Amino acid sequence: MFSQYPLHVGMARISKIMLRTTFCCFLLALTALGQAGQTPKDDSQPNKLIFMERLWNEAQVNRDARALDAMLGAHFVNTEYDGEVSDRAQFLEGIKDPQFNLTSLSIQDTKVSMYGDSAVVIGTYRTKGTYQGKPYEHVGRFTDTWVFSDGRWQCVASHTSLVKK
């Protein structure tokens, strides 16, 4: 069946998605290279973690499971706002779910607490999209736990909760 849009419109959308994904991968690789050989004791680490949180958001919007895979620890665990718990593999598979269409995700009010080779990042998030064709908009809080291991920061736990209006 033919699309209702001309071919050049579809190709432009694919090109835009590919450009975003390539940009996210480039930024992730640049961040990883910048971290190699550093210890997490210098003052720039909180800014790097906030930057990685923003890369995480871009990767989710762009359904870039590869970029997210590079940020997660081997035993990553995710707890969603509704209480659903997923491991690393389940979380990455969920990023590819065609019924889930995330259109925007932003974070604000981020704070980083450093604990030696570990850090906790908290903040608020706002997300919009559709799930199973139904629109949603969430505002909530997040807590991500990061560990500096093998020369890079890896997220080992993530938790979100909705803010009641």
What's the token pair of residue 14? 């694919």
43 pLDDT band, cuts 50/70/90, is confident
Q: pLDDT tens digits for 7-40?
A: 444 445 555 565 565 555 555 555 555 554 454 5
Q: How many CB atoms lie within 10 A of CB 142?
A: 18
Could you give the domains of the chain?
7-162 (3.10.450.50)
CA distance 13 to 9: 6
Question: In sequence order, what are the residues at sequence separation of 6 or more whose Cβ sits closer than 8 angstroms to the Cβ of residue 11?
Answer: none
Model pTM score: 0.76
